Amino acid sequence: MSQSDQSRLAEFMAGLERRNPGETEFHQAVHEVAQHIIPFIQRNPEYEEKQILERLTEPDRIVSFRVCWEDDEGNIRTQRGYRVQHNNAIGPYKGGIRFHHNVTQSILKFLAFEQTFKNSLTGLPMGGGKGGADFNPKGKSDREIMRFCQAFMSELFRHIGPFTDVPAGDIGVGAREVSYMFGQYKRISNEFVGVLTGKGLAFGGSEIRVEATGYGCVYFMEDMLKHRGMDLEGKRCLVSGSGNVAQYTAEKIIALGGKVVSLSDSGGSIYDPAGIDAEKLEWVKDLKEVRRGRISEYAEHFDCEYYEGKRPWGIEGELAFPCATQNEISGEDARTLVNNGCLGVSEGANMPSTADAIDVFQEARLMFAPSKAANAGGVAVSGLEMTQNSMRLSWSRDELNQRLRSIMGEIHRKCIQYGETEDGYVDYLKGSNVAGFVKVADAMIAYGVI
């Protein structure tokens, strides 16, 4: 980066941090994008003149609201709910809902900002948004989950709609929670419309949506490997997390001949040197989706190592798929991965690598796929769920899988177009940032000053 780009970036970030005090995750996500967009707009002054980056880093609006519900003992509980409607230049706001005790406005702003670029990359007409609540679903009964989802939707419903804002799932929000929220929306509005994605197949859901984020993340890795003349066959793969994204990442790796040796949750990681095969993975799905147990139980059941309180990055592997949460790979973890011979990282989770970790990966010339490219498959199939809802028909599993495969291939191609450097290394972070930016920025310019 030139001296003048560097000082422009420093000036821009100082202003952003002043306007958004204490929102460290949001600062981190914006910095990750601005480092590439600032040099790009210096060469394309129309974007500078129209103040696109400044406008893009201020959400269209943020709604914050009280969510009151009653637990099984009859105690009244109060949580804070949010919806960040970041940008709708290219389509209705679209992005998941997260229920996790650590949810803050900063985390949702970073996710909504990232979502705007990711949705643009899919090529589908979707803007960016994200929502959630500081509600901890762990240990709650099914009835408590239902009451919370209904209370949350009782307020959220007035801010969303099939042409306005279409939420989906994220951490702590799976098929069960989406169903409770959709039911409540339908009850209040008296309309059966595609206002949420990730719905059950019986009521407007799409085939492949459950699998899409994980499958897409592996398809992206497959394309990066192919670009370097390699494939997944026989590669030892480290997967973190054991929720929706981790499960289907593991499933696709296994199907393509890779060997998954780890999974994790917030308690720790398991290491299974024999490999997690399809049968063991079914056991994990049942553990997490039906019994709602801990990953430590895998180690007891299949007699392998469990590293309490640890992430899997100390285990030797050639490919890494972080699929749990933000900032789960530190600079030190990244150095350990590189020293252990890791060749590539495909981010299933949102922003799982810290800025230091990304520097380490890129200096080592690793294949590094940032989340806005690698995990875009989930929202892409959500977009296809919206299309099917509008047309009132359902495509087959094969058709949707093919569409997902081709969207991931197209994102990979765009990353190369904007991210290939002179020595042939592909900077996927730069490629995805610039490709995602251009489409949104051009739409914003077309609208004039709004």
The residues that are catalytic are 130
Q: Does 353 bind ligand NDP (CB under 6 A)?
A: no
* Distance, first Cα to last Cα, the chain: 31
| Interacting positions 150-169 with ligand NDP (CB under 6 A) | 169
Which residue lies nearer to ligand NDP by CB, 91 or 348? 348
In the shown chain, the binding pattern of residues 182 to 221 toward ligand NDP, with x for contact by CB under 6 A and - for none, equals -------------------------------x--------
Rounded-to-integer distance, Cα 337 and Cα 119, Å: 30
Options 59, 127, 172, 258; binder of ligand NDP; rule CB under 6 A: 172
Say if CB 100 and CB 172 are below 8 A apart: yes
Nearer to ligand NDP, 99 or 185 (CB): 99
- Nearer to ligand NDP by Cβ, of 245 and 270: the residue is 245
- The reply to whether 286 sits near ligand NDP by the rule CB under 6 A is no
The answer to the question of residue 132 lying near ligand NDP (CB under 6 A) is no
Contact call for residue 265 and ligand NDP (CB under 6 A): yes
For residues 223 and 238, give the distance between their C-alpha atoms in angstroms, rounded to a whole number.
Answer: 18
The DSSP output letter for 133 is E
Question: What residues contact 4, with CB distance under 8 A and at least 6 apart?
Answer: 42
Q: Which is nearer to ligand NDP, 100 or 430 (CB)?
A: 100
Instruction: Determine if 241 is a binding residue for ligand NDP (CB under 6 A).
Output: yes
Residue 131 within binding range of ligand NDP, rule CB under 6 A:
no
266 contacts ligand NDP (rule: CB under 6 A): yes
The answer to whether residues 174 and 288 touch, using CB atoms and an 8 Å cutoff, is no
Question: 91 near 83, Cβ under 8 Å?
Answer: no
The neighbour count for residue 126, using CB atoms within 10 Å, is: 25
Name which of 243 and 383 has its Cβ closer to ligand NDP.
243
Do the Cβ atoms of 348 and 249 come closer than 8 Å?
yes
Taking the least distance from each CB to ligand NDP, the nearer of 45 and 309 is: 309
Question: Quick one: which segment of 4-12, 119-127, 145-153, 322-330 binds ligand NDP (CB under 6 A)?
Answer: 322-330
CA atoms within a 13 Å half-sphere pointing along the CA-CB vector of 179: 11
Alpha-carbon span 266 to 171, nearest angstrom: 12
Among 375, 389, 401, 432, binds ligand NDP (CB under 6 A): 375
Phi, psi angle pair for 277, to nearest 5°: -90, 180
Residue nearest to ligand NDP (CB): 243
Sign of CA dihedral 7, 54, 441, 115: positive
Q: Tokens at residue 293, please? A: 């147990």
177 touches ligand NDP by CB under 6 A: no
User: How near is the Cβ of 2 to ligand NDP at its closest, in Å?
Assistant: 34
In this complex, which beta carbon is closest to ligand NDP, that of residue 164 or of residue 327?
Answer: 327
Question: Which H or E run includes 430?
Answer: helix 428-447
Stretch in the footprint of ligand NDP (CB under 6 A) among 32-40, 188-196, 229-237, 261-269: 261-269
Taking CB under 6 A as the binding criterion, the range among 82-90, 158-166, 270-278, 317-325 that sits at the site for ligand NDP is 317-325
Q: What are phi and psi of 444, to 5 degrees?
A: -65, -40
For the chain, the residue count is 450
What residues have CB less than 8 Å from 332, skipping those under 6 apart?
none
Told to check if 378 binds ligand NDP by CB under 6 A, we report: yes
Tell me which of 87, 106, 244, 388 binds ligand NDP, using CB under 6 A: 244
Residue whose CB is less far from ligand NDP, 184 or 264? 264
Distances (CA, A) of 23 to 15, 28, 170, 225: 13, 9, 20, 36
Least separation in angstroms between CB 404 and ligand NDP: 12
Q: DSSP of 302-364, one letter per residue? A: HT-EEEET--GGGS--SEEE--S-TT-B-HHHHHHHHHTT--EEE--SSS-B-HHHHHHHHHT
Quote the least distance from Cβ 382 to ligand NDP, whole Å: 8
What are the backbone dihedrals phi and psi of residue 158, each rounded to the nearest 5 degrees, phi first? Answer: -75, -10
The count of chain residues that interact with ligand NDP, using the rule CB under 6 A, is: 23
Report d(CA 34, CA 210) in Å as an integer.
Answer: 32
* Among 242, 249, 346, 432, contact with ligand NDP (rule: CB under 6 A): 242
Interaction site with ligand NDP (CB under 6 A): 169-172, 174, 213, 241-246, 265-267, 323-325, 348-350, 375, 378
